[in-house]
Chain A
Amino acid sequence: QNYSFTNVQIEGNQRVDASTILSYAGIARGETVSAAQVNQAYQNIVESGLFEEVEIEPRGGTLFIRVVEYPTINVINFEGNRMIKDEDLEQIIQSQSRRVYNPSLAEADAAAIVTAYEQSGRLAATVEPRIIRRSDNRVDLAFEIVEGRGVEVERISFVGNRFYSDGRLRRVLGTKQAGLLRRLIRSDTFVADRIEFDKQVLQDFYVSRGFIDFQVLSVTSELTRNRDAFLITFNLREGQSFTFGEVTASSDLAEVDVDLFQEAIRVHPGVTYSPALVDNTIARLERLALQQGLNFIRVDPRVTRNDRDLTLDVDFRIVKGPRVFVERIDIEGNATTLDRVIRRQFRTVEGDPFNPREIRETAERIRALGFFSTADVNAREGTSPDQVIVDVNVEEAPTGSLSFGLNYSVTNGAGAAVSFSESNFLGRGQYLSFSLTSGVDNSVTSFTFAEPAFLSRDVTFRFSASYGESSNQDSTKYDTRRVSISPSLEFPTGEFTRLALRYTIAETDLYNYTGASPIIQAEADEEALLTSSVGYTYSYDTRRTGLNPNAGVLLRFNQNFGGLGGDTKFVETTALVASETTVMNEDVTLRAEFEGGLLNFLDGNSRVTERYFLNGKMRGFDNNGIGPRDLNTPSNEALGGNMFAVVRLEADFPIGVPEEYGIRGGLFADVGSVWDLDNDNGGSVDDGMNLRAAVGFSIFWTTPIGPLRFNFSDAVQKESYDEVRNFDLTISTRF
């Protein structure tokens, strides 16, 4: 039957006013209402979540609604939590102060806190929500937490591993044994999903070594008697290691020239099979297709297995992929960076064919900008199935740094430094830095500005100016002052090559010389010399964009021609050849570098300020420690040399310390020399080429402020008058 109410009577509401309840109930006065509608009204009011009890009772002409409101939460606090702080717990729970107290919500919060504890290894934690009644129907909500003891992993063992020892596999796994530094780190506490992660790690380890049938049969874990540690045993079935058999490229598309693709394959028979190599080859072939201007090309490998000789034949079939276009590129989250700074990283233009590999590489380029804490690029379907919208979501990170303060460097000792640098100036992607560093006996003020998209082309315009003064009277006995201004343009000239053209104008002044060497005295008399030079740097670099991700070569060749006006005429040539590769499945990096330089003055003599000293280029020797010296001066003043050459061999490898410390070891050997002077004062100075060599080991430590490198070295072959240095702390810069 149905009712019609002349008025509605609402009782029991204190905080929520009558009109709100009426709007939830949805029944207007005087309207004829069916029983179902009354029930619906009851449901709505209950679902509002504001009331503990709700009663609706039609009595004749009036509708009675009686409600008991949930109390509101006055204060929430946590008792007994030591491992997880209050702020973290507040993030986990949903109940909030000043909001309605809902018992089921409080139970859910307690459960959430328990799982949080389980995640960090406290399996025995218990949480009890309790309320304390306050005046005015308010309550205080308290969570009583009993954390219980953590559970450690005592020992990991393996069954069925014939090819690799337990020790080797343990090093591969995430859960280390309860190691010596247990107090420091928590990663060895036992957590269920970490075991899943370890299974995956084992799978990747074996498959990348050709064991395509590898399987983790089971993982058993027993609890030690006093319930504080676990014994984990992995039961493995390795199977056999397969190698590549026939590797071919094939396609039945007319426009594909198959032998071209066949040549691009670098995998030859006999190499141990690994999915990474297959992906790598696919990347090469797809990039080749892109260069040939073939659109919508997809490469899918067909693997045929022959168990007799444990080889896998892989045929890379080149097929026509789906015809999909990029409809729009939408960029969001760029609060400070301008849209075009991100958009110009895309080589794909709206309307171009959609190439997933290109989009992945663009995502890498956007991340490499270093402006964002997160930058993810993904594609979703557009207005029609064969159109795609590329969404770029970025989250800005601070890119400016303003620092006053002291800094220590082994070469200049302690010093004060004021520096402002901004790598995303005004969100335009421009780099701007101004720094004034003054050491014990030298000070440098420098200003650098770089615009990566000069005239919106892929050309970087860089302008740097610096003013430096040094007065290390005790060691070199002279003061120098140098002002230099140098604009340059740098641009790609091919897929791996870049060319930079620059002009430099500089004035160097060598003055108040107090030493005894006639050579330097002659140079000091020349007072300030203006050099105006043009120069170029040609670099060929296959490391990041090269096809083989973990090996690469860098060749950098540059020349400066002085004499465009100014007081000096010279040609300076320097070259750096470096190659790097990783061996023993990317654990060990081997690096070999050769660096050489030749400075020849067409008229007049070179000066000690221009000559080479190998500072920072050869380890094991002090600053200005190598090179020709004027031996009949009391302190054997260093004169430097017009030519230098150095070979550096390095290896760095893990030293068994778990990865999360970021500590690795390394060995190095440097051989090199500085020689040749224009004016050797009638032969009294030995400026011949005498080789020096130094060997040593280093410790790499990646700290939050950057990768540090501690070098311990010993000069095994040196001249009697060289100055040696056995310890050096530097930033391990990548060349």
Chain B
Amino acid sequence: CTPIYRNHGYAPSETELGEVVVGIDTRDTVQDVIGPPSASGVIREDAWYYVASRWQTRGMYAPEVLNRELVAISFDDAGTVRNIERYGLEHGRVVALNRRVTDDNIKGVSFIGQLLGNIGNVTADQLLGQGPNGN
């Protein structure tokens, strides 16, 4: 069966990247030329990262990433572009995610409370005896 393709994120194309000149462009000019970064900094943004990835889902298998383009633009203290690096999918590492989660001590509604909490609608198929598993 044919796979389904999906694109996520955004990375500037070669032509747009060409317009960014190391040493001259500042954060604002970079933002005007190629837009806000996918992951941008907060206090003193030293590096901006633009990430674009293409995903493929085949049948019942989990979606896998086909390729990922990461453009890293780093700035020096004066805020001008210091370096433009490119990372690909091959630089990424497969990391096993940690199962532990910081627990939150807010107690939820009890199981029964949720179950009976939103009883309310009558559907025609119950009345006419042809339930979803219609006999």
Contact = CB atoms under 8 A, between A and B. Distances in A.
A323 interface: yes
Contact of A439 (B118, B127, B129, B133): B129
Chain A contact patch, size range: 35 or more
Contacts of B118: 336, 396-400, 424
A705 interface: yes
A325 B35 contact: yes
Interface centre among B36, B111, B119 (most CB of A within 10 A): B36
A399 B121 contact: yes
B95 interface: no
B117 interface: yes
B9 interface: yes
Contacts of A468: 135
Interface residues of B, number: 44
A431 to B, nearest CB: 9
B97 interface: no
A705 B124 contact: yes
Interface in A660-709: 703, 705-708
B116 interface: yes
A123 interface: no
A729 B35 contact: no
Contact of A706 (B1, B51, B54, B124): B124
A197 interface: no
Interface in B88-115: 111, 114-115
Given A353-B10, A491-B60, A731 B125 contact: yes
Given A407-B128, A493-B2, A336 B35 contact: no
Interface centre among B5, B114, B135 (most CB of A within 10 A): B135
A434 B35 CA distance: 53
A489 B60 contact: yes
B131 A433 contact: yes
Contact of B128 (A295, A458, A731): A731
Contacts of A291: 5
B133 A409 contact: no
A384 B40 CA distance: 12
A466 B124 CA distance: 21
Contact of B10 (A352, A417, A703, A707): A352
Given A336-B114, A457-B62, A351 B129 contact: no
A347 B8 CA distance: 9
A82 B130 CA distance: 42
Secondary structure at the A interface, as helix, strand, loop or mixed, is strand
A444 B6 CA distance: 44
A347 B57 CA distance: 13
Nearest to A407: B129
Interface centre among A293, A400, A425, A455 (most CB of B within 10 A): A400
A325 B123 contact: no
Contacts, number: 148
Contact of A457 (B63, B129, B135): B63
Contacts of B125: 706, 731
Contacts of A439: 129
Nearest to B134: A616
B26 interface: no
A734 B134 CA distance: 14
Interface in A436-492: 437, 439, 442, 444, 446, 448, 455, 457-459, 464, 466, 468, 489, 491-492
A291 B127 CA distance: 45
Contacts of B122: 401, 403, 705
Interface string B1-33: 110111111100000000000000000000000
Contacts of A708: 124, 128
A396 B114 CA distance: 13
A422 B36 contact: no
Interface stretch (A174-182, A494-502, A522-530): A494-502
Given A399-B121, A705-B122, A731 B130 contact: yes
Contact of B59 (A400, A493, A729): A493
Given A336-B118, A437-B131, 12 more contacts: A323-B35, A325-B36, A384-B36, A386-B35, A387-B36, A407-B126, A417-B126, A419-B131, A493-B4, A495-B4, A616-B134, A731-B130
16 contacts: A325-B36, A336-B114, A349-B8, A351-B10, A351-B51, A353-B10, A400-B120, A401-B120, A401-B126, A417-B131, A433-B132, A433-B133, A444-B133, A457-B62, A464-B133, A494-B1
